[in-house]
Amino acid sequence: MDDSFCIRVDVIRDESLQCWTSIGSGGFGEIYRAKHTTLGRDVAIKLLRYKDGRSASSIQREAHLMLQGGNPNVISILGLYEGRVGDMQLPLRSGLVMEFMPNGSVADLLQTLDGPPPWPLTFRMAHEISLGMNFLHHLSVLHLDLKPSNVLLDDSLKTKLTDFGLSRVARSLSKYPREKSEDEGGTLSYMPPEALKSVNYKASKASDVYSYGVLLWSIITGKEPYGGVLSTLVRFRIPEGDRPDLTPIDCSKAKGLNDMVKLMTKCWQQDPGRRPPFLDCVKETEKIFNMHKHGLNAAVYDVLKQLDDDVCSSLRSIQISKPHGGMYEIRPQVPSCVTGSPPKQEMAVGFTKPIRKETFPRPAPPATPVRTTQRQTSTPGGVQISMSNVCGVQIGNNNTMNIVQKPRQRHRTAPSSVGTSCSYSENSQKKP
């Protein structure tokens, strides 16, 4: 691209960022969430892995490719990062500062839903991804790593592309090749056959179109392509013509799904020259999405509710209590352990006589001031339990209880008629 298209790239440093939190990692580096003090908003910082110690200014020529536009389906790059991740003891790092996407990626969504999204949302995703890719190709920018984890979701579940052209940026940062990782195995499933066939492979727009076709399959089925298959076999079979299995897709389930499958298979054609341009994909996905547009709001609401429920379920393991000091503390909640019928015994704190289970009617005892009670609970082993004012303890797995009663000691000033044993017992109880 001509230098006349270059735009100014701001360098963002540690003094503008606070509240760092690690939120993930990928093949290119770690990802953090932080608060931008000047903008007053949360941002995502992707730190790039490199080993030659260059500063952020050395990658501006490459990074400007990612700063073109203002397309709603492409992530906004706010600038380049240069700093020490808020810790002066750490080495100097460089990366990209991007807008923070609260709902993660499409890969996260498919995992949370354990399947595909509702059809209106599925078709909107397919359309928005094609719009974003068409925009990048219009700028002569290749993505080269299109997959579910590189399609992010905003608070309305609208999609935005990220990591486009990042492989070029990563290569410009280091004289060393990118280290292998687990992420490489996932990317392999979306690579075109020509990339796996020849070491002299030269990326083109058709390469991204192939990846889009496999991405469509993943969104429609809710699965990862070639799941459970060795990466070495995938690398060998894709150039031979193997593609993700179409049998799980029932085209009668949704209107326009058959047309989407046809588009998918066109995109992953073996011959790059036969794959459609993204402008054609935009036209086709728009037509299909319009068939389901009326149900979009309900679909988005249902999915957002499931995401909220998933977050809430992860918080159910946290118990918040207020100790005597008045300060709130948060601690993991120990799951209850059922060992037969749940124990129901209660001890009245401060009573000199234990409340025992009676097998026959008995006269009501004299009225006694109500006191707070302490309930016995059963918890799994390995947990230390501290109790006070307790005269009975539940032990074993058969819900039996040992009652230990200390004899009352008569005060030296008490009348001689006051005994030293409990006035109530099962053996000495007189009938009324």
How far apart (Å, rounded) are the C-alpha atoms in residues 381 and 368?
Answer: 37
CA distance 315 to 326: 22
Q: Judge contact between 30 and 22, C-beta under 8 A.
A: yes
List the structure tokens of 334.
Answer: 């120990």
Burial grade of 273 (CB within 10 A; 0-12, 13-18, 19 or more): exposed
3-class SS at 158?
A: coil
Q: Which of 189, 104, 180, 113 is nearest to 146 (CA)?
A: 189
Pairing of strands 77-83, 41-47: unpaired
Contact 254, 188 (CB under 8 A): no
Answer yes or no: 309 catalytic.
no
CB contact at 8 A, 365 and 350? no
Query: For residues 256 and 119, what is the distance between their CA atoms, to the nearest angstrom?
Result: 10
How many other CB atoms are there within 10 angstroms of residue 50's CB atom?
23
HSE value, Cβ hemisphere, 13 Å, CA-based, for 184? 10
* Residues 405, 225: Cα–Cα separation, whole Å: 67
Helix (H), strand (E) at residue 347: strand 346-348
| Measured CA distances, 148 to 173, 217, 285 (Å) | 25, 11, 17
Catalytic-role residue among 14, 145, 154, 242: 145
Which active-site residues does the annotation give? 145
